[in-house]
Structure 1
Amino acid sequence: MAVFSLPIDQQVVLITGGARGLGAHLTRAFLDQGARVVVNYYRSREAAEALVKEAPQRALAVQADVRDADAIRALFEQACGHFGAPISTVVNNALPEFTFNGDARPDADALDWAHLQQQLEGVNRGALNTIQAALAGMREQGGGRIINVGTNLFQNPVVPYHDYTAGKAALLSLTRTLSNDLGPDGITVNMVSGGLLRTTDASSATPEAVFDLIAQNTPLRRVTTPEEFADAALFFASPWARAVTGQNLIVDGGLVKG
Protein backbone atom coordinates (compact mmCIF):
# COMPACT_ATOMS: atom_id res chain seq x y z
CA MET A 1 0.00 0.00 0.00
CA ALA A 2 1.33 3.45 -0.95
CA VAL A 3 2.15 5.79 1.92
CA PHE A 4 0.95 9.39 1.68
CA SER A 5 4.04 11.59 1.90
CA LEU A 6 3.26 14.84 0.13
CA PRO A 7 5.77 17.60 1.04
CA ILE A 8 4.23 20.51 2.90
CA ASP A 9 4.95 22.93 0.06
CA GLN A 10 2.71 20.81 -2.19
CA GLN A 11 -0.17 20.62 0.24
CA VAL A 12 -3.40 22.53 0.81
CA VAL A 13 -3.82 22.97 4.56
CA LEU A 14 -6.91 23.99 6.51
CA ILE A 15 -6.39 25.76 9.85
CA THR A 16 -9.69 26.12 11.71
CA GLY A 17 -9.77 29.22 13.86
CA GLY A 18 -6.69 30.20 11.91
CA ALA A 19 -7.03 33.99 12.04
CA ARG A 20 -5.88 34.80 15.54
CA GLY A 21 -4.18 33.46 18.64
CA LEU A 22 -2.49 30.10 18.24
CA GLY A 23 -4.33 29.67 14.94
CA ALA A 24 -2.52 32.64 13.41
CA HIS A 25 0.84 31.18 14.43
CA LEU A 26 -0.15 27.85 12.85
CA THR A 27 -1.22 29.65 9.68
CA ARG A 28 2.09 31.51 9.41
CA ALA A 29 4.10 28.37 10.13
CA PHE A 30 2.51 26.51 7.21
CA LEU A 31 2.76 29.54 4.92
CA ASP A 32 6.46 29.85 5.80
CA GLN A 33 6.92 26.26 4.59
CA GLY A 34 5.30 27.04 1.25
CA ALA A 35 1.89 25.47 1.83
CA ARG A 36 -1.35 26.82 0.45
CA VAL A 37 -3.45 27.62 3.51
CA VAL A 38 -7.17 27.99 4.07
CA VAL A 39 -7.58 30.42 6.97
CA ASN A 40 -10.92 29.53 8.51
CA TYR A 41 -12.50 32.10 10.80
CA TYR A 42 -15.79 32.55 12.60
CA ARG A 43 -15.93 36.24 13.49
CA SER A 44 -12.34 37.45 12.96
CA ARG A 45 -12.71 38.61 9.36
CA GLU A 46 -10.24 41.50 9.55
CA ALA A 47 -7.55 39.35 11.15
CA ALA A 48 -8.06 36.62 8.55
CA GLU A 49 -7.87 39.05 5.64
CA ALA A 50 -4.72 40.61 7.12
CA LEU A 51 -3.07 37.19 7.19
CA VAL A 52 -4.03 36.54 3.57
CA LYS A 53 -2.28 39.78 2.57
CA GLU A 54 0.98 38.29 3.87
CA ALA A 55 0.82 35.57 1.17
CA PRO A 56 -2.02 36.46 -1.20
CA GLN A 57 -1.20 33.75 -3.76
CA ARG A 58 -1.15 30.97 -1.20
CA ALA A 59 -3.72 31.94 1.45
CA LEU A 60 -7.50 32.00 1.34
CA ALA A 61 -9.76 33.32 4.11
CA VAL A 62 -13.08 31.50 4.46
CA GLN A 63 -15.76 32.25 7.04
CA ALA A 64 -17.48 29.18 8.47
CA ASP A 65 -18.73 28.00 11.84
CA VAL A 66 -17.09 24.61 12.34
CA ARG A 67 -20.25 23.45 14.13
CA ASP A 68 -22.21 23.81 10.88
CA ALA A 69 -21.62 20.77 8.66
CA ASP A 70 -23.11 22.43 5.57
CA ALA A 71 -20.87 25.47 5.99
CA ILE A 72 -17.80 23.25 6.34
CA ARG A 73 -18.67 21.26 3.22
CA ALA A 74 -19.02 24.55 1.35
CA LEU A 75 -15.61 25.64 2.69
CA PHE A 76 -13.99 22.50 1.29
CA GLU A 77 -15.62 23.01 -2.09
CA GLN A 78 -14.49 26.65 -2.19
CA ALA A 79 -10.94 25.75 -1.19
CA CYS A 80 -10.65 23.00 -3.80
CA GLY A 81 -12.01 25.30 -6.49
CA HIS A 82 -9.66 28.11 -5.51
CA PHE A 83 -6.45 26.07 -5.26
CA GLY A 84 -7.30 23.39 -7.82
CA ALA A 85 -6.54 20.60 -5.34
CA PRO A 86 -8.26 19.05 -2.33
CA ILE A 87 -7.28 19.82 1.24
CA SER A 88 -4.59 17.36 2.32
CA THR A 89 -4.03 18.44 5.95
CA VAL A 90 -6.62 19.58 8.48
CA VAL A 91 -5.57 21.27 11.72
CA ASN A 92 -8.49 21.33 14.15
CA ASN A 93 -7.70 24.38 16.26
CA ALA A 94 -11.03 26.25 16.46
CA LEU A 95 -12.54 26.88 19.89
CA PRO A 96 -15.76 28.82 19.26
CA GLU A 97 -17.59 30.67 22.01
CA PHE A 98 -14.95 30.03 24.68
CA THR A 99 -12.68 32.38 26.61
CA PHE A 100 -9.94 31.36 29.03
CA ASN A 101 -10.69 33.10 32.30
CA GLY A 102 -9.64 31.29 35.44
CA ASP A 103 -11.70 33.57 37.67
CA ALA A 104 -14.91 33.21 35.65
CA ARG A 105 -14.69 29.48 34.91
CA PRO A 106 -17.47 27.35 36.44
CA ASP A 107 -16.33 25.47 39.55
CA ALA A 108 -17.68 22.10 40.65
CA ASP A 109 -20.85 23.61 42.13
CA ALA A 110 -21.63 25.85 39.16
CA LEU A 111 -20.70 23.46 36.34
CA ASP A 112 -23.72 22.30 34.38
CA TRP A 113 -24.35 20.31 31.23
CA ALA A 114 -24.62 23.47 29.11
CA HIS A 115 -20.93 24.17 29.73
CA LEU A 116 -19.96 20.67 28.63
CA GLN A 117 -22.35 20.75 25.69
CA GLN A 118 -20.78 23.98 24.45
CA GLN A 119 -17.38 22.31 24.33
CA LEU A 120 -18.65 19.12 22.73
CA GLU A 121 -20.32 21.21 20.04
CA GLY A 122 -17.32 23.44 19.39
CA VAL A 123 -14.42 21.05 19.81
CA ASN A 124 -15.85 17.64 18.94
CA ARG A 125 -18.63 18.36 16.49
CA GLY A 126 -16.38 20.91 14.82
CA ALA A 127 -13.57 18.37 14.39
CA LEU A 128 -15.97 15.68 13.20
CA ASN A 129 -17.39 18.05 10.57
CA THR A 130 -13.98 18.98 9.17
CA ILE A 131 -12.71 15.41 9.20
CA GLN A 132 -15.75 14.02 7.41
CA ALA A 133 -15.63 16.81 4.83
CA ALA A 134 -11.94 16.08 4.19
CA LEU A 135 -12.21 12.34 3.62
CA ALA A 136 -13.21 12.25 -0.05
CA GLY A 137 -10.37 14.58 -1.09
CA MET A 138 -7.81 12.77 1.06
CA ARG A 139 -8.80 9.40 -0.36
CA GLU A 140 -8.55 10.86 -3.84
CA GLN A 141 -4.94 11.87 -3.09
CA GLY A 142 -4.10 8.54 -1.49
CA GLY A 143 -4.01 9.83 2.07
CA GLY A 144 -3.87 12.89 4.28
CA ARG A 145 -3.09 14.34 7.66
CA ILE A 146 -5.46 15.26 10.49
CA ILE A 147 -3.93 17.17 13.40
CA ASN A 148 -6.02 17.94 16.46
CA VAL A 149 -5.04 20.58 19.00
CA GLY A 150 -5.21 19.28 22.57
CA THR A 151 -4.05 20.34 26.02
CA ASN A 152 -1.72 19.15 28.80
CA LEU A 153 -4.47 19.90 31.33
CA PHE A 154 -5.34 16.18 31.17
CA GLN A 155 -2.15 15.42 33.05
CA ASN A 156 -1.74 18.67 34.96
CA PRO A 157 -5.07 20.43 35.67
CA VAL A 158 -3.35 23.43 37.20
CA VAL A 159 -6.46 25.43 36.31
CA PRO A 160 -9.49 23.09 36.36
CA TYR A 161 -11.33 24.10 33.21
CA HIS A 162 -13.75 21.18 33.58
CA ASP A 163 -15.67 21.77 30.36
CA TYR A 164 -12.69 22.62 28.14
CA THR A 165 -10.64 19.68 29.35
CA ALA A 166 -13.57 17.28 28.92
CA GLY A 167 -14.01 18.38 25.30
CA LYS A 168 -10.31 17.95 24.57
CA ALA A 169 -10.29 14.54 26.30
CA ALA A 170 -13.08 13.42 23.99
CA LEU A 171 -11.08 14.77 21.05
CA LEU A 172 -8.10 12.65 22.12
CA SER A 173 -10.32 9.59 22.18
CA LEU A 174 -11.58 10.45 18.69
CA THR A 175 -7.98 10.93 17.56
CA ARG A 176 -7.09 7.40 18.57
CA THR A 177 -10.18 5.63 17.27
CA LEU A 178 -10.16 7.49 13.94
CA SER A 179 -6.49 6.70 13.45
CA ASN A 180 -7.41 3.02 13.42
CA ASP A 181 -10.43 3.54 11.17
CA LEU A 182 -8.65 5.76 8.63
CA GLY A 183 -5.21 4.17 8.62
CA PRO A 184 -6.02 1.85 5.70
CA ASP A 185 -6.79 4.98 3.64
CA GLY A 186 -3.33 6.40 4.32
CA ILE A 187 -4.79 9.08 6.61
CA THR A 188 -2.96 9.75 9.87
CA VAL A 189 -4.70 11.29 12.88
CA ASN A 190 -2.62 12.83 15.67
CA MET A 191 -2.91 15.38 18.46
CA VAL A 192 -0.52 18.13 19.57
CA SER A 193 -1.08 19.21 23.17
CA GLY A 194 0.38 22.34 24.68
CA GLY A 195 0.07 24.09 27.98
CA LEU A 196 0.36 27.77 28.69
CA LEU A 197 2.02 29.37 25.67
CA ARG A 198 3.99 32.59 25.69
CA THR A 199 2.07 34.40 24.32
CA THR A 200 -1.31 34.00 22.60
CA ASP A 201 -4.67 35.71 22.97
CA ALA A 202 -5.57 33.05 25.52
CA SER A 203 -2.51 33.71 27.70
CA SER A 204 -2.11 37.46 27.19
CA ALA A 205 -3.63 38.31 30.58
CA THR A 206 -1.42 35.86 32.47
CA PRO A 207 0.66 37.58 35.18
CA GLU A 208 4.42 37.49 34.71
CA ALA A 209 4.77 35.64 38.01
CA VAL A 210 2.78 32.71 36.62
CA PHE A 211 5.00 32.48 33.55
CA ASP A 212 8.05 32.56 35.86
CA LEU A 213 6.65 29.79 38.08
CA ILE A 214 5.95 27.52 35.13
CA ALA A 215 9.41 28.18 33.70
CA GLN A 216 11.05 27.24 37.01
CA ASN A 217 9.22 23.88 37.02
CA THR A 218 9.89 23.05 33.37
CA PRO A 219 13.04 21.12 32.39
CA LEU A 220 13.89 23.68 29.69
CA ARG A 221 13.40 26.46 32.28
CA ARG A 222 11.24 28.51 29.93
CA VAL A 223 7.67 28.67 28.71
CA THR A 224 6.91 27.16 25.30
CA THR A 225 6.11 29.60 22.50
CA PRO A 226 3.30 29.31 19.92
CA GLU A 227 5.97 29.02 17.22
CA GLU A 228 7.43 25.97 18.96
CA PHE A 229 3.98 24.43 19.23
CA ALA A 230 3.44 25.03 15.52
CA ASP A 231 6.69 23.20 14.74
CA ALA A 232 5.12 19.99 16.07
CA ALA A 233 2.09 20.47 13.82
CA LEU A 234 4.45 20.85 10.86
CA PHE A 235 6.08 17.56 11.77
CA PHE A 236 2.77 15.68 11.79
CA ALA A 237 1.88 17.17 8.39
CA SER A 238 5.23 16.30 6.85
CA PRO A 239 6.48 13.13 5.15
CA TRP A 240 8.68 12.52 8.22
CA ALA A 241 5.54 11.56 10.17
CA ARG A 242 4.26 9.09 7.60
CA ALA A 243 4.41 6.18 10.08
CA VAL A 244 3.04 8.08 13.09
CA THR A 245 -0.66 8.01 13.91
CA GLY A 246 -2.95 7.89 16.93
CA GLN A 247 -0.42 9.81 19.01
CA ASN A 248 -0.69 12.70 21.46
CA LEU A 249 2.52 14.74 21.47
CA ILE A 250 2.83 17.04 24.48
CA VAL A 251 4.74 20.19 23.59
CA ASP A 252 5.38 22.07 26.84
CA GLY A 253 9.14 21.93 27.41
CA GLY A 254 8.89 18.72 29.42
CA LEU A 255 6.60 20.08 32.15
CA VAL A 256 4.22 17.12 31.81
CA LYS A 257 5.40 13.58 31.20
CA GLY A 258 3.21 11.36 29.01
Structure 2
Amino acid sequence: MMKLTEQVVVISGASRGLGAEIARAFGREGAKVVVNYFQNEEKAAGVAKSIGENAITVRADVRNAEEVRDMFRIARETFGKPVTTIVHNALVNFKFDPVGRSQADAIEWDEYERQLTGSVKGGLNLIQAGLEEMKKAEFGRIVTIGTNLFQNPVVPYHDYTTAKAALLGFTRNMANELGAFGITVNMVSGGLLQTTDASSLTTPEVFGLIESVTPRRKVTEPAEVADAVLFFASPWGRAVTGQNLVVDGGLVMD
Protein backbone atom coordinates (compact mmCIF):
# COMPACT_ATOMS: atom_id res chain seq x y z
CA MET A 1 0.00 0.00 0.00
CA MET A 2 1.04 3.58 -0.58
CA LYS A 3 -0.52 6.54 1.19
CA LEU A 4 -1.77 9.48 -0.85
CA THR A 5 0.99 11.62 0.69
CA GLU A 6 3.57 9.32 -0.93
CA GLN A 7 2.10 9.41 -4.41
CA VAL A 8 3.12 11.34 -7.52
CA VAL A 9 -0.03 11.94 -9.53
CA VAL A 10 -0.45 12.96 -13.17
CA ILE A 11 -3.88 14.35 -14.01
CA SER A 12 -4.46 14.88 -17.71
CA GLY A 13 -6.53 17.89 -18.69
CA ALA A 14 -6.19 19.42 -15.23
CA SER A 15 -6.30 23.12 -16.06
CA ARG A 16 -10.08 23.39 -15.70
CA GLY A 17 -13.32 21.73 -14.69
CA LEU A 18 -13.22 18.24 -13.25
CA GLY A 19 -9.49 17.83 -13.87
CA ALA A 20 -8.72 20.93 -11.82
CA GLU A 21 -10.89 19.67 -8.96
CA ILE A 22 -9.15 16.29 -9.03
CA ALA A 23 -5.76 18.02 -8.91
CA ARG A 24 -6.85 20.13 -5.93
CA ALA A 25 -8.24 17.06 -4.16
CA PHE A 26 -4.93 15.22 -4.43
CA GLY A 27 -3.09 18.35 -3.40
CA ARG A 28 -5.31 18.73 -0.36
CA GLU A 29 -4.35 15.20 0.70
CA GLY A 30 -0.63 15.90 0.36
CA ALA A 31 0.19 14.14 -2.90
CA LYS A 32 2.67 15.49 -5.42
CA VAL A 33 0.60 16.71 -8.36
CA VAL A 34 1.36 17.17 -12.04
CA VAL A 35 -1.21 19.56 -13.51
CA ASN A 36 -1.23 18.57 -17.16
CA TYR A 37 -2.64 20.97 -19.75
CA PHE A 38 -2.71 21.25 -23.52
CA GLN A 39 -3.84 24.80 -24.29
CA ASN A 40 -4.48 26.93 -21.22
CA GLU A 41 -1.19 27.58 -19.44
CA GLU A 42 -2.62 30.42 -17.36
CA LYS A 43 -5.44 28.34 -15.90
CA ALA A 44 -3.09 25.41 -15.22
CA ALA A 45 -0.73 27.74 -13.37
CA GLY A 46 -3.64 28.95 -11.27
CA VAL A 47 -4.54 25.39 -10.29
CA ALA A 48 -0.93 24.62 -9.36
CA LYS A 49 -0.67 27.84 -7.35
CA SER A 50 -3.80 26.91 -5.39
CA ILE A 51 -2.13 23.61 -4.42
CA GLY A 52 1.24 25.06 -3.53
CA GLU A 53 4.77 23.69 -3.63
CA ASN A 54 3.61 20.11 -4.22
CA ALA A 55 2.33 20.92 -7.72
CA ILE A 56 3.86 21.61 -11.12
CA THR A 57 2.36 22.31 -14.52
CA VAL A 58 3.44 20.41 -17.63
CA ARG A 59 2.15 20.95 -21.14
CA ALA A 60 1.60 17.73 -23.07
CA ASP A 61 -0.88 16.51 -25.66
CA VAL A 62 -2.00 13.09 -24.41
CA ARG A 63 -2.38 12.00 -28.03
CA ASN A 64 1.38 12.43 -28.49
CA ALA A 65 3.37 9.58 -26.89
CA GLU A 66 6.67 11.48 -26.88
CA GLU A 67 5.19 14.49 -25.12
CA VAL A 68 3.61 12.22 -22.51
CA ARG A 69 6.92 10.44 -21.88
CA ASP A 70 8.61 13.80 -21.44
CA MET A 71 5.96 14.80 -18.90
CA PHE A 72 6.64 11.68 -16.83
CA ARG A 73 10.38 12.36 -17.00
CA ILE A 74 9.84 15.94 -15.77
CA ALA A 75 7.68 14.65 -12.92
CA ARG A 76 10.37 12.18 -11.83
CA GLU A 77 13.11 14.82 -12.00
CA THR A 78 11.04 17.37 -10.10
CA PHE A 79 9.79 15.16 -7.29
CA GLY A 80 12.70 12.75 -7.07
CA LYS A 81 10.60 9.66 -7.73
CA PRO A 82 8.49 8.29 -10.57
CA VAL A 83 4.80 8.74 -11.21
CA THR A 84 2.72 6.32 -9.13
CA THR A 85 -0.77 7.44 -10.07
CA ILE A 86 -2.49 8.42 -13.32
CA VAL A 87 -5.87 10.07 -13.77
CA HIS A 88 -6.92 10.20 -17.42
CA ASN A 89 -9.37 13.07 -17.55
CA ALA A 90 -8.43 14.96 -20.74
CA LEU A 91 -11.30 15.84 -23.06
CA VAL A 92 -10.30 16.85 -26.58
CA ASN A 93 -12.33 19.51 -28.38
CA PHE A 94 -15.80 18.72 -27.10
CA LYS A 95 -18.68 20.72 -25.66
CA PHE A 96 -21.87 19.35 -24.14
CA ASP A 97 -24.16 21.32 -26.42
CA PRO A 98 -27.59 19.66 -26.71
CA VAL A 99 -28.71 22.09 -29.39
CA GLY A 100 -25.60 22.26 -31.56
CA ARG A 101 -24.53 18.60 -31.19
CA SER A 102 -23.88 16.47 -34.28
CA GLN A 103 -26.98 14.41 -35.00
CA ALA A 104 -27.25 10.91 -36.44
CA ASP A 105 -27.89 11.97 -40.03
CA ALA A 106 -24.96 14.37 -40.16
CA ILE A 107 -22.22 13.23 -37.79
CA GLU A 108 -18.90 12.44 -39.51
CA TRP A 109 -16.61 9.53 -38.73
CA ASP A 110 -13.73 11.89 -37.96
CA GLU A 111 -15.76 13.22 -35.02
CA TYR A 112 -15.86 9.72 -33.58
CA GLU A 113 -12.18 9.27 -34.35
CA ARG A 114 -11.26 12.52 -32.58
CA GLN A 115 -12.92 11.40 -29.37
CA LEU A 116 -11.64 7.82 -29.60
CA THR A 117 -8.10 9.14 -30.07
CA GLY A 118 -8.34 11.42 -27.05
CA SER A 119 -9.91 8.78 -24.83
CA VAL A 120 -8.28 5.50 -25.81
CA LYS A 121 -5.00 6.56 -27.42
CA GLY A 122 -4.55 9.17 -24.70
CA GLY A 123 -5.09 6.52 -22.04
CA LEU A 124 -2.68 4.14 -23.75
CA ASN A 125 0.05 6.78 -23.96
CA LEU A 126 -0.34 7.67 -20.29
CA ILE A 127 -0.25 4.07 -19.07
CA GLN A 128 2.68 3.08 -21.26
CA ALA A 129 4.67 6.11 -20.07
CA GLY A 130 4.32 5.03 -16.45
CA LEU A 131 4.14 1.26 -16.70
CA GLU A 132 7.80 0.31 -16.40
CA GLU A 133 8.26 2.22 -13.14
CA MET A 134 4.94 1.00 -11.75
CA LYS A 135 5.88 -2.62 -12.42
CA LYS A 136 9.25 -2.07 -10.81
CA ALA A 137 7.58 -0.59 -7.71
CA GLU A 138 4.85 -3.26 -7.75
CA PHE A 139 2.40 -0.42 -7.26
CA GLY A 140 0.26 1.73 -9.51
CA ARG A 141 -3.08 3.47 -9.41
CA ILE A 142 -4.81 4.35 -12.67
CA VAL A 143 -8.21 6.01 -12.91
CA THR A 144 -9.96 6.82 -16.16
CA ILE A 145 -12.83 9.29 -16.33
CA GLY A 146 -15.97 7.97 -18.00
CA THR A 147 -19.60 9.06 -18.17
CA ASN A 148 -23.02 7.80 -17.18
CA LEU A 149 -24.22 8.70 -20.67
CA PHE A 150 -23.37 5.31 -22.13
CA GLN A 151 -25.82 3.80 -19.64
CA ASN A 152 -28.40 6.56 -19.87
CA PRO A 153 -27.90 8.82 -22.92
CA VAL A 154 -30.09 11.69 -21.78
CA VAL A 155 -28.63 13.58 -24.74
CA PRO A 156 -27.17 11.43 -27.56
CA TYR A 157 -23.65 12.78 -27.86
CA HIS A 158 -22.72 10.07 -30.34
CA ASP A 159 -18.97 10.57 -30.62
CA TYR A 160 -18.23 11.37 -26.98
CA THR A 161 -20.37 8.61 -25.49
CA THR A 162 -19.05 5.95 -27.88
CA ALA A 163 -15.46 6.89 -27.05
CA LYS A 164 -16.11 6.70 -23.31
CA ALA A 165 -17.73 3.29 -23.72
CA ALA A 166 -14.60 2.16 -25.53
CA LEU A 167 -12.51 3.61 -22.70
CA LEU A 168 -14.35 1.36 -20.23
CA GLY A 169 -13.39 -1.70 -22.28
CA PHE A 170 -9.81 -0.41 -22.37
CA THR A 171 -9.88 0.11 -18.60
CA ARG A 172 -11.05 -3.41 -17.84
CA ASN A 173 -8.55 -5.05 -20.17
CA MET A 174 -5.73 -3.10 -18.52
CA ALA A 175 -7.06 -4.03 -15.07
CA ASN A 176 -6.97 -7.70 -15.99
CA GLU A 177 -3.40 -7.66 -17.29
CA LEU A 178 -1.84 -5.29 -14.77
CA GLY A 179 -3.37 -6.56 -11.55
CA ALA A 180 -0.61 -9.11 -11.10
CA PHE A 181 1.89 -6.25 -10.86
CA GLY A 182 0.09 -4.46 -8.02
CA ILE A 183 -1.53 -1.98 -10.40
CA THR A 184 -5.25 -1.22 -10.19
CA VAL A 185 -7.19 0.33 -13.08
CA ASN A 186 -10.67 1.72 -12.52
CA MET A 187 -13.10 4.20 -14.02
CA VAL A 188 -15.08 6.96 -12.33
CA SER A 189 -18.12 8.12 -14.29
CA GLY A 190 -19.79 11.35 -13.37
CA GLY A 191 -22.96 12.62 -14.88
CA LEU A 192 -23.27 15.97 -16.56
CA LEU A 193 -21.49 18.23 -14.09
CA GLN A 194 -22.59 21.65 -12.93
CA THR A 195 -20.88 23.58 -14.25
CA THR A 196 -17.62 23.15 -16.16
CA ASP A 197 -16.27 24.70 -19.35
CA ALA A 198 -17.36 21.57 -21.21
CA SER A 199 -20.92 21.80 -19.89
CA SER A 200 -21.22 25.58 -20.23
CA LEU A 201 -23.47 25.27 -23.29
CA THR A 202 -25.86 22.88 -21.57
CA THR A 203 -29.28 24.45 -21.34
CA PRO A 204 -31.12 25.01 -18.05
CA GLU A 205 -33.81 22.66 -19.34
CA VAL A 206 -31.34 19.75 -19.54
CA PHE A 207 -29.93 20.48 -16.08
CA GLY A 208 -33.49 20.75 -14.77
CA LEU A 209 -34.44 17.40 -16.28
CA ILE A 210 -31.46 15.68 -14.68
CA GLU A 211 -32.17 17.33 -11.34
CA SER A 212 -35.82 16.27 -11.37
CA VAL A 213 -35.11 12.55 -11.93
CA THR A 214 -32.02 12.23 -9.72
CA PRO A 215 -32.64 10.84 -6.20
CA ARG A 216 -30.59 13.62 -4.58
CA ARG A 217 -32.57 16.20 -6.58
CA LYS A 218 -29.38 18.01 -7.55
CA VAL A 219 -26.81 17.95 -10.34
CA THR A 220 -23.46 16.46 -9.35
CA GLU A 221 -20.55 18.88 -8.90
CA PRO A 222 -16.93 18.29 -9.97
CA ALA A 223 -15.59 18.22 -6.39
CA GLU A 224 -17.91 15.31 -5.57
CA VAL A 225 -16.54 13.25 -8.44
CA ALA A 226 -12.97 14.19 -7.49
CA ASP A 227 -13.41 12.68 -4.03
CA ALA A 228 -14.43 9.36 -5.60
CA VAL A 229 -11.22 9.37 -7.65
CA LEU A 230 -9.27 9.73 -4.40
CA PHE A 231 -10.85 6.51 -3.11
CA PHE A 232 -9.41 4.44 -5.94
CA ALA A 233 -5.95 5.91 -5.38
CA SER A 234 -6.08 5.52 -1.61
CA PRO A 235 -5.25 2.44 0.51
CA TRP A 236 -9.00 1.90 1.01
CA GLY A 237 -9.38 1.06 -2.68
CA ARG A 238 -6.50 -1.39 -2.84
CA ALA A 239 -8.64 -4.48 -3.60
CA VAL A 240 -10.82 -2.81 -6.24
CA THR A 241 -9.92 -3.00 -9.92
CA GLY A 242 -11.72 -3.13 -13.25
CA GLN A 243 -14.71 -1.27 -11.84
CA ASN A 244 -16.78 1.63 -13.14
CA LEU A 245 -18.05 3.73 -10.25
CA VAL A 246 -20.94 5.95 -11.31
CA VAL A 247 -20.97 9.19 -9.30
CA ASP A 248 -24.11 11.01 -10.35
CA GLY A 249 -26.34 11.20 -7.30
CA GLY A 250 -28.13 7.98 -8.17
CA LEU A 251 -29.43 8.94 -11.63
CA VAL A 252 -27.99 5.70 -13.00
CA MET A 253 -28.16 2.71 -10.68
CA ASP A 254 -25.98 -0.07 -12.04
Task: Give the TM interval when normalised to the shorter protein.
Answer: over 0.9
Deviation at 1:56, TM superposition (A): 3.4
Q: Secondary structure at the match of 1:249?
A: strand
- Partner of 2:77 in structure 1? 81
Shift of 1:217: 0.8
Partner of 1:152: 148
CA distance in 2, matches of 1:208, 1:174: 33
Inter-partner Cα distance in structure 1 for 2:19 and 2:126 = 16
- 2:210 is equivalent to residue 247 of structure 1: no
Q: Secondary structure at the match of 1:147?
A: strand
Q: Residue in 2 aligned with 1:143?
A: 139
**Deviation digits for residues 39-97 of structure 1 (CA, Å, limit 9, x no counterpart):** 00000100111122223310010000000000000110010000001111100000122
Partner of 1:205: 201
Residues in 2 aligned to 1:32 and 1:183: alpha-carbon distance in whole angstroms: 28
Asked if 1 retains the 8 angstrom alpha-carbon contact of 2:31 and 2:54, the reply is: yes
> Alignment partner of 2:236: what SS?
helix
- TM-score, scaled relative to structure 1: 0.95
Q: Secondary structure in 1 aligned to 2:74?
A: helix
Which stretches in structure 1 are left out of the alignment for 5+ residues? none
Superposition deviation, residue 197 in structure 1:
1.2
Q: In 1, distance between residues paired with 2:198 and 2:155? A: 13
The answer for unaligned runs of 5 or more in structure 2 is: none
Structure 2 residue 9 is matched with structure 1 residue 13: yes
* RMSD over aligned Cα atoms: 1.1
Q: Does 1:66 align with 2:62?
A: yes
Whole-Å separation in 2 of the counterparts to 1:52 and 1:94: 17
Of 3, 19, 34, the match for 1:23: 19
Give the aligned residue type for 2:209: L
Determine if the alignment matches structure 1 residue 116 to structure 2 residue 112. yes
Across the two proteins, how many residue pairs are aligned to each other?
254
Deviation string, structure 1 residues 191-225 (Cα, Å, up to 9, x no partner):
00011112211223333343333222111121111
Q: With structure 2 as the length reference, what TM-score do the two structures score?
A: 0.97
In structure 2, the residue matched to 1:182 is: 178
- How far residue 113 of structure 1 moved from its aligned partner, in angstroms, is 1.2
Could you say what secondary structure the match of 2:86 adopts? strand
- Equivalent-residue separation in structure 1 for 2:95 and 2:58 (angstroms): 22
The corresponding residue for 1:32 is 28
Aligned residue type for 2:30: G
Once residues 94 and 137 of structure 1 are traced to their aligned partners in structure 2, the CA distance between those partners, rounded to angstroms, is 22
Aligned: 1:194 with 2:193: no
Q: Which amino acid aligns with 1:83?
A: F
Partner Cα separation in structure 1 for residue 137 and residue 65 of structure 2: 22
